[in-house]
Amino acid sequence: MRVFTTLLMLLLPTGLFAASVSQNILEAHNSARSEVGAGPLVWSARAESQAAGWAQVLSKRCDIEHSRGSGFGENLFMGTMGYYDELDGVKSWENEKRDYRGQPLSRELIPRVGHYTQMVWPDTRELGCATATCNNLMILVCNYYPPGNYLGESAWQSPAQTCC
């Protein structure tokens, strides 16, 4: 599947996904969200377009850094083409759940769990992602609307927080 995805990425216009890739990304997000009782996301052409534009900027820099002022939440991933694919990026974000128990977000906590909490943020309803490449690296950008990760708020309630 990795080889097919990589070949498909090379054949499509930069940043655009085949429907199956966007569907797989959406399903992976919605699976993580269902585990914590968050409603499903829908694919957004507007969020995908924003992600594609930022992915192109990052491909020229061949580095990742967050955009500013887009009005979207954002997750970024960079990995070697042919070894990592889009779902590896999503899985890396989801793996941050090991450090999150539903507590309110703090400046200290966000660097360890912020990708995961953005994925499952309860008010978020739309997702759009895109990729770009540089030096045999794939850059994945996913945008979320409305954004999440507000300091002092929780992505979901832990059982201890819903009790008594």
Give Cα 45 distance to the centre of its chain: 15
Taking only the tens place, the pLDDT of each residue in 58-84 is: 999 999 999 998 999 999 999 999 999
Q: In what order do the strands lie in the sheet with 73-80?
A: 42-43, 126-134, 137-145, 73-80
Report the distance separating Cα 33 and Cα 116, nearest Å: 10
What pLDDT is recorded for position 18? 66
CB 130 within 8 A of CB 48: yes
Taking only the tens place, the pLDDT of each residue in 86-107 is: 999 999 999 999 999 999 999 9
Say what the pTM is.
Answer: 0.85
Residue type, 78: M
CB 58 within 8 A of CB 64: yes
Q: How confident is the model at residue 34 (pLDDT cuts 50, 70, 90)?
A: very high
Walk me through the domains of the chain, giving residue ranges and CATH numbers.
39-147 (3.40.33.10)
